[in-house]
Amino acid sequence: MRWTTAKIRQSFLDFFAERGHTIVPSASLIPKGDPTLLFVNAGMVPFKDYFLGVRTPQYLRVVDVQKCLRISGKHNDLEAVGRDTYHHTFFEMLGNWSFGDYYKEEAIRWHWELITKVWGVDPKLLYATVHKDDKESEDIWIKLNVLPRDRILRFGDKDNFWEMGPTGPCGYNSEISIDRGEAACSPEKNHPGQKCFVNVDGCERFIELGNLVFIQYNRDESGKLTPLPKKHVDTGTGLERVAAALQSLETGKILGNYDIDLFQTIIKKIEIAAKELGDGHPYGKNVDSDISYRAIADHARTMTFLIADGVMPGNTDREYVLRRIIRRAARHGRYLGIHRPFLAMAHAGVVEAMGDAYPEIKKAAAKTAEAITQEESRFGETLDRGLELIDTELARIKKSGAHTLPGEIAFKLYDTYGFPLDLTEDVLRNHSIDVDVAGFNRLMEEQKERGRAARKDDAAAPEINLGAGTASRFVGYHTYEGESEVLAAGGKDGDQVAVVVAETPFYPEG
Ligand code: SER
């Protein structure tokens, strides 16, 4: 195969290196000094401070492949994973960057050249989009004279104004999409009869091969846009979908993201697990087990990379996301008839497919396999009983003609059987049954209240009586250590003390 995923990755880096960009490695999935995000969800996140002008970049042109996780916040694809053939929680984003250097013209021209000349995609298959108010980008496309006018499409904010989250650097974008032909047109069942086209969701006929964002504003908490001191280029191209498009053109078959060489290496390992430990269904033969194959392959990447970046399964924030992912993957294992820990086998596939590009996952391989297996074993003890409870409840609900699982049952699944709420919802989705989330949350709140009351009785817990007007200045974006003045202190004979200092790098939520 000519365009293996590894080769596409390298060709992108080489193309922009030849055009004056410095190749930099992917940053960690854990954002540094950015309390607005749980995970890096786009290639631009590690460079946010350069866009905002609060840090000066070492290079004005950079190219990289960034590990991204879209599993929380504004960009969250978790629910779609497995159900279609092109959503991921973890994915690799190819990006070239201009920090106040070149702008729209070069970004557009170079991407066109990369896609059509290097990757060899026939221009007849391509479309460009621009924001309806971004005349500058539209004129650049027209001047480039590579696409007929009716294939330079205008859209509004939803499609052509890119933002990383509710706040942060943002701006108009221009995208390049490929039409993979009618054979690729398979609108999902929740989009029946739709007319598939560029920017219409729910079908893999038209897919985006590049998102070129022209960062020129910062959005603040009040929603206001302020122009940035300089204009920047932030591009993002999902490696997996480029591989799917190029490998489809090469083989003459319509391939989804999970059919590319990289994912096949992982899926083969899951097939071995299913054969040795489960019911032996291979991938590609049954709609339901295919969903589980894709979900496991996706989640195996997420757990592998999160653990390599220092996250371990636990009960809060990032740790809980990882725990949920492992538990969801373990549950999908049950659907392949696997009733024993097996995710370390899928993880080995990830290391085999991606360890050369990301040495950190090779280095962490033993630790990762152990952490995954431990979590899986722990959950495995209650998973089957939890699934049985769901089955019993489903039968009861269906018989009564209702459509909702009571909050008490969801809470029991959480509290007694270790089922994260989203896992319960995921199981029920196949049966079109909702969860009474409000009831679940009420019970969670009551439990927390009981915990708080219990802690209040704990004499060792330090308490500080803050005088009026005591305030700490947050310095954490730029500083991680420092000396400061103690404004207040508390704590009794026990070994816990608490202090309030004038300046702190700790963000209250963290
Ligand atoms: N920030 C844009 C995106 O995530 C382009 O890199 O799609």
Question: Looking at ligand 1, which residue's alpha carbon is closest to its atom 3?
Answer: 236
Question: Looking at ligand 1, which residue's alpha carbon is closest to its atom 4?
Answer: 42
Q: Which helix (H) or strand (E) holds 178?
A: strand 168-179
**375 C-beta neighbours (distance < 10 Å), count:** 24
365-400 vs 343-354: helix axis angle to the nearest 10? 130
Enter the tokens of residue 132.
Answer: 């309806």
Task: Return the ligand 1 atom nearest residue 44 CA.
Answer: 1
d(CA 456, CA 451): 9
Ligand 1 pocket test: which of 16, 26, 41, 44 has the largest number of ligand atoms within 8 Å of its C-beta?
44
Distances (CA, A) of 312 to 186, 341, 480: 38, 17, 22
Chain centroid to CA 361: 18
Query: What local confidence, expressed as pLDDT, does residue 510 receive?
Result: 38
Predicted TM-score (pTM) above 0.95: no
d(CA 158, CA 186): 23
- Distance from the alpha carbon of residue 317 to the mean position of ligand 1, in angstroms: 24
Coil, strand, or helix at residue 98?
strand
95 lines ligand 1 (CB under 6 A): yes
Query: What local confidence, expressed as pLDDT, does residue 468 receive?
Result: 65
Q: Which H, E and C letters describe 110-176, residue by residue?
A: HHHHHHHHHCCCCHHHEEEEEECCCHHHHHHHHHHCCCCHHHEEEECHHHHEEECCCCEEEEEEEEE
- Distance from the alpha carbon of residue 173 to the mean position of ligand 1, in angstroms: 9
Task: Return the ligand 1 atom nearest residue 213 CA.
Answer: 5
169 lines ligand 1 (CB under 6 A): no
179 lines ligand 1 (CB under 6 A): no
94 lines ligand 1 (CB under 6 A): no
- Distance from the alpha carbon of residue 213 to the mean position of ligand 1, in angstroms: 7
- Distance from the alpha carbon of residue 211 to the mean position of ligand 1, in angstroms: 6
44 lines ligand 1 (CB under 6 A): yes
- Distance from the alpha carbon of residue 97 to the mean position of ligand 1, in angstroms: 11
- Distance from the alpha carbon of residue 456 to the mean position of ligand 1, in angstroms: 46
- Distance from the alpha carbon of residue 114 to the mean position of ligand 1, in angstroms: 17
Report the b/e string of 207-235 with b at 16+ CB within 10 A: bbbbbbbbbbbbbeeeeeeeebebbbbbb
- Distance from the alpha carbon of residue 299 to the mean position of ligand 1, in angstroms: 22
Report the b/e string of 294-315 with b at 16+ CB within 10 A: bbbbbbbbbbbbbbbbebebee
213 lines ligand 1 (CB under 6 A): yes
51 lines ligand 1 (CB under 6 A): no
63 lines ligand 1 (CB under 6 A): no
Chain centroid to CA 267: 20
- Distance from the alpha carbon of residue 44 to the mean position of ligand 1, in angstroms: 7
- Distance from the alpha carbon of residue 162 to the mean position of ligand 1, in angstroms: 7
- Distance from the alpha carbon of residue 320 to the mean position of ligand 1, in angstroms: 26
Q: How many CA atoms lie within 13 A of 201 on its CB side?
A: 7
135 closest CA partner among 160, 164, 101: 160
Q: Which H, E and C letters describe 248-268, residue by residue?
A: HHHHCCCCCHHHCHHHHHHHH
Query: What local confidence, expressed as pLDDT, does residue 493 receive?
Result: 59
Chain centroid to CA 64: 17
Integer distance in angstroms from the first to the last C-alpha of the chain? 47
- Distance from the alpha carbon of residue 43 to the mean position of ligand 1, in angstroms: 6
Query: What local confidence, expressed as pLDDT, does residue 461 receive?
Result: 53
Domains of the chain and CATH, by start: 5-251 (3.30.930.10), 260-397 (no CATH), 403-458 (no CATH), 473-504 (no CATH)
Q: Are strands 90-98 and 161-163 parallel, antiparallel or unpaired?
A: unpaired
pLDDT average per 10 residues of sequence, the chain (510 residues): 95 98 97 87 94 95 97 83 91 98 98 98 98 98 98 97 90 97 78 84 90 97 94 98 97 96 98 96 93 97 98 94 96 96 98 98 98 95 93 94 95 95 92 94 93 67 65 75 82 69 72
Ligand 1 pocket test: which of 70, 93, 219 has the largest number of ligand atoms within 8 Å of its C-beta?
93
360 lines ligand 1 (CB under 6 A): no
Question: Looking at ligand 1, which residue's alpha carbon is closest to its atom 2?
Answer: 236
The phi and psi torsions of 255 (rounded to 5 degrees) equal -105, 140
- Distance from the alpha carbon of residue 198 to the mean position of ligand 1, in angstroms: 17
Ligand 1 pocket test: which of 70, 98, 209, 213 has the largest number of ligand atoms within 8 Å of its C-beta?
213
